[in-house]
Structure 1
């Protein structure tokens, strides 16, 4: 049986599966069976960072699987690369030695001494992880072979590495946005219902959100609501939509597949919590508690996302063009991607600012740089939108800008505490980035997404079943509602959104909506700079 499997699977796939299994087993061993508690060590930050490395590694493997799925030429070249020759036995030895350095502490250090001695064990584990990763990489293929394979596809691979590195941080940062009491209550009710079906005497306290059976009780907190699963599933669906954009009916994909995937993610989370309660009640309380705080949930959410994508790939109703060939249009020249991806990067930049800066307002120059680079990457398809805006659009922009400034509440005090920490040169740089980003970059990115993509797509998709007038009204309402949710002053933002949407609908020219948005933001930026009230923007 082993010989048959060995001959059936390509060498690259066999080794990749081996590395994935090693990574998962090491993660689960330390999280479920070792008494390591980062809070009890003297290097808590480093301990948590090390624990996150495994999760990011698994995320990268799954993201690469989706990439190979879409770009078949890259996968075939990868198979040929690994089948031709390996890097040599010295890399195998390096990989095995690295694994030994990782697992030896758990085997040799007593449980009670693991936390006090972890600051001494940590360097060995970091060294072992580096050796195992480097040895495994060059066990697959030699350095020159990797260089040849990466040269034509360096940008997408680096983008996937960056996404894998940031995915846990994104889930943590976005989580509070999706935490709301109703979701936690629904999750609690789902667990209670499922526990009633499998447990003899379930204990349920809805007021305190405590649930359990047989003496094992847990509190269903906001972090148990399933938000992390939502983030993971959404991230993989988004990557799939980008890579398969020429073959998917994207409106059907997002309106039908995404809600179903989120529902399955929530249901899976309910089942996970129920199983952990049963394990704690009838098998091992310690194992169950560790399970609640382990990355096992992440692993299963990734598997769920892949299962959803496998099903989607087989549904002809969601496909626009039959076949599995790679997209004919390069990503940087794709008009649809130009309307969506700059907005995605704009949102990601905001999340990163909230995650890595104590005062997120100070991160704006970096956010502006990300926005500028995203628009520069799509400069080819964006040229189609260049035209002279109408006088009506410019006048509408003046009206929106004045209304925004005049309607600002008096309590809208300037946030200058963080800015006062900047040097004079730093403050000048920040003001320049803020004004240029607000006036030139944000209007283009937001109008590309909300008007040229969301409003236009909804109008096109709803015209058939609803008729043109109702489709237009509904498309404007949805795009304006989403636009308003991005702003603290949502009512005034909705008024501005209606004006921009009407300008776009009037002649079907995005330049009118962008010009009005730019003029409005220019007036607001001038008012903010003259008063120092940057909260206006």
Structure 2
């Protein structure tokens, strides 16, 4: 056995060793391939609150299609009250998904609601005096079935309660439900499927008229609906606030409800 003297050891390594052990630094392997790019979520993968905008409108149309048929032995008043409750529930459930409440342009919207009532009544009258026009419209869009709430029993607690519900539907439920659908959703969806990224009030020529004509398609008062729909689109474009449109719609409908009760024009319900 070979003896190693203390002087033969330098730094802990025997100098006389035939095979000295050198401490090599550990170098991690180098990966020359580029790092993968960070994944970015695509617009298509971004969830859209589509049903928050659409479902109240769809529910309203479904109930409207059956409310006068007397199904399950439930009269029109019962179905209408159920419709108001269901749609109100949907509006409340989804309201956090919509644009936040803003007062921008709401005063102008209320003023335009008064103008809208005058436009609606004048053009509805004009449509009625043009020979054959109402018949032509009815053959395409159908007619609105009016409802006389007082019936053969006259004014009583039951009929007054239903009138209150009817006005609630006319001046609260319908304005919110329709404006959230027509202008909050459809006007923007026609521009980009990622509709919540489209600023409020933005229109293209195509989206402006598609929304207007679609609004006309569910209102047999064709001339009135055409003009009123164009006016509320203009308001939306000017204010960039769907709540201004709700204000216009609510004022027009509330005043229209008063007109109906005062004149007995039940077909306008």
Q: Per the shorter chain, which TM-score range?
A: 0.5 to 0.7
C-alpha distance 536-496 of structure 1, shift in aligned 2 (>3 A): same
1:529 CA drift (Å): 1.6
The alignment status of 1:460 with 2:184, answered yes or no, reads no
Alignment of 1:206-225 (within 5 A): none
Which of 65, 80, 84 is equivalent to 1:351?
Answer: 65
1:356 CA drift (Å): 3.4
Which of 175, 200, 205 is equivalent to 1:473?
Answer: 205
Which of 131, 135, 151 is equivalent to 1:420?
Answer: 151
SS in structure 1 opposite 2:219?
A: coil
C-alpha distance 392-426 of structure 1, shift in aligned 2 (>3 A): same
CA distance in 2, matches of 1:509, 1:417: 36
C-alpha distance 505-350 of structure 1, shift in aligned 2 (>3 A): same
Alignment of 1:174-323 (within 5 A): 320-321=44-45
Kept in 2, the 8 Å contact 1:414–1:532? The answer is no
1:456 CA drift (Å): 1.0
Which of 241, 249, 252 is equivalent to 1:520?
Answer: 252
CA distance in 2, matches of 1:505, 1:516: 14
CA distance in 1, matches of 2:210, 2:223: 14
1:406 CA drift (Å): 3.5
Aligned pairs, number: 203
SS in structure 1 opposite 2:91?
A: helix
SS in structure 1 opposite 2:124?
A: coil
Counterpart in the other structure of 1:340: 54
Alignment of 1:164-179 (within 5 A): none
SS in structure 2 opposite 1:434?
A: helix
Which of 75, 80, 96 is equivalent to 1:380?
Answer: 96
CA distance in 2, matches of 1:460, 1:414: 37
Normalized per residue, the structure richer in helix is: 1
Counterpart in the other structure of 1:535: 267
The alignment status of 1:401 with 2:117, answered yes or no, reads yes
C-alpha distance 417-471 of structure 1, shift in aligned 2 (>3 A): closer
Q: Deviations along 1:309-359, whole A, 9 cap, x unmatched?
A: xxxxxxxxxxx229xxxx7xxxxxx74321111111111111221443599
Tell me which of the two structures has the higher relative contact order, counting C-alpha pairs closer than 8 angstroms and 6 or more residues apart.
2
1:429 CA drift (Å): 1.8
CA distance in 2, matches of 1:405, 1:484: 15
Structure 2: stretches of 5+ with no match in the other structure: 1-40, 135-143, 194-201
Kept in 2, the 8 Å contact 1:439–1:521? The answer is yes
TM-score by length of 1: 0.34
Counterpart in the other structure of 1:510: 242
C-alpha distance 471-407 of structure 1, shift in aligned 2 (>3 A): closer
CA distance in 2, matches of 1:496, 1:403: 7
C-alpha distance 389-533 of structure 1, shift in aligned 2 (>3 A): farther
Which of 78, 81, 84 is equivalent to 1:368?
Answer: 84
1:407 CA drift (Å): 3.6
CA distance in 1, matches of 2:223, 2:233: 15
Counterpart in the other structure of 1:499: 231
1:522 CA drift (Å): 1.3
Structure 1: stretches of 5+ with no match in the other structure: 1-246, 250-319, 328-333, 462-469
C-alpha distance 385-431 of structure 1, shift in aligned 2 (>3 A): same
Kept in 1, the 8 Å contact 2:121–2:224? The answer is no
SS in structure 2 opposite 1:459?
A: coil
CA distance in 1, matches of 2:249, 2:164: 19
Counterpart in the other structure of 1:439: 171
C-alpha distance 493-359 of structure 1, shift in aligned 2 (>3 A): farther
TM-score by length of 2: 0.65
C-alpha distance 355-361 of structure 1, shift in aligned 2 (>3 A): closer
Q: Which runs of 4+ in 1 moved over 4 A?
A: 357-361, 410-419
CA distance in 2, matches of 1:505, 1:386: 17
